Amino acid sequence: MKKYSETTILSLLCLLLVHPFFSLAQVTIGEGVPPDPSALLELRGNNWGFLGPRVELKSRIDPAPVTDPITGLLVYNLKNTDLPDKKNNVYANKYYYWAENQWMEFVNTVELNDTIRKIITKMEIPGVALFKLNGKDNLHIDHPQITGCKNFLAGKAIGSKQNVPLSQVVNFSQGAVTLNQTTSEISFKPGVYTILFVYEFFPLTVSPPSVPPANCTISSYFMDFPIPERIVIGEDRARIHSTCYHRDKIYSNHGGYISYATALIDETGDGIIKWTVSLGVGQSGNCTAINNGVVPTGFGLANDGTFLYICKQGEIK
């Protein structure tokens, strides 16, 4: 491969710009092949790079050290500035081009994304995470698409709980909310949160049918939520109940929701507050009373109607 000296390259560029004949021609530097038809000048090389002019800019709005730069002029800046007016600073190891009487920085997508994340955090724009039930059982003999967790809470006494298996749908919390799918554990970073749990139960009509018993018409549930540790002393959860009235046997479909809001503050020093998502058996129903003190079989927690919504509303000041 033939190499060209700096003087040769500069001479070619000068001829290209000032001579009428050369201004109609195309030039390739680096290989002895014609340039792409759309290119006036093409630099070729599989182990070379383009090295632009390196300068020390003084300010975003000061053309120096370039004299009277033309629009589109490209330079590589070598030095940071620290000006009283911060918006006019320029930064080292970046390409700038002159346009609209100022030096414009080429966009770095990594830095741009990081800046956007910082701005969103500073503005305290809510960060949403959505999870849905991840049951593997069929709940209806005639509708195989109705899936979930069959006999959820069956055999559990009042006050007992069962973990809710979840999978992530979307998560825009910027890392503030994460799910351990194996343990049903949510990890929070400190902040102000709203939490909404929505549930839907189906009577099991699988083969053989195993619907809830007669006179089971009131189902009671609870969920234990994480608490603001510096506000409540001596407690490890905030318990909220939800009670549903429904018909019995095959008509015992029912659903509801439990909502909660909290300010979570880390007391352990690791920057994380952990919460296991579980649903418990409340005491205001009648289904346990007619079934020896435990929840009867026959209820399935449905995937399509059960989800957990978490929204980080802001930071703790």
pLDDT tens digits for range 232-272: 445 567 899 999 999 999 899 999 999 999 999 877 777 88
Beta carbons of 83 and 89 less than 8 angstroms apart: yes
Token pair 């490890």 is found at: 236
Q: Which of 85, 109, 133 is the last residue of a domain?
A: 109
Kindly state whether residues 56 and 169 are assigned to the same domain. Answer: no
Q: Is 117 inside any structural domain?
A: no
- 94 contacts 67 by C-beta, under 8 angstroms: no
The continuous run of DSSP H or E covering 76 comes out as strand 74-77
pLDDT band with cut points at 50, 70 and 90 for residue 50 = confident
Regarding whether 130 and 68 lie in a shared domain, the answer is: no
The domain that holds 252 is classified in CATH as 2.60.120.40
Residues 135 and 173 in one domain: yes
Count of other CB atoms within 10 angstroms of residue 166: 21
Domain identity same for 145 and 249: yes
Q: Are residues 42 and 99 in the same domain?
A: yes
Can you give the pTM of this predicted structure?
A: 0.62
- Are 100 and 34 in the same domain? yes
Going by C-alpha positions, the residue among 180, 174, 156 that lies closest to residue 292 is 156
Range of the domain at 82: 6-109
Tokens of 235: 């407690």
- Work out how many domains the chain is built from and give that number: 2
In a domain, residue 71? The reply is yes
DSSP letter for 190, please.
Answer: S
119 lies in a domain?
A: no
Mean pLDDT, rounded, for 57-65: 95
Model confidence band, residue 211 (pLDDT cutoffs 50, 70, 90): confident
Does one domain contain both 65 and 164? no
Shared domain for 280 and 222, answered yes or no, is: yes
Verify that 193 and 268 share a domain, yes or no. yes
| 145, 276: one domain | yes
Domain co-membership, 147 together with 277: yes
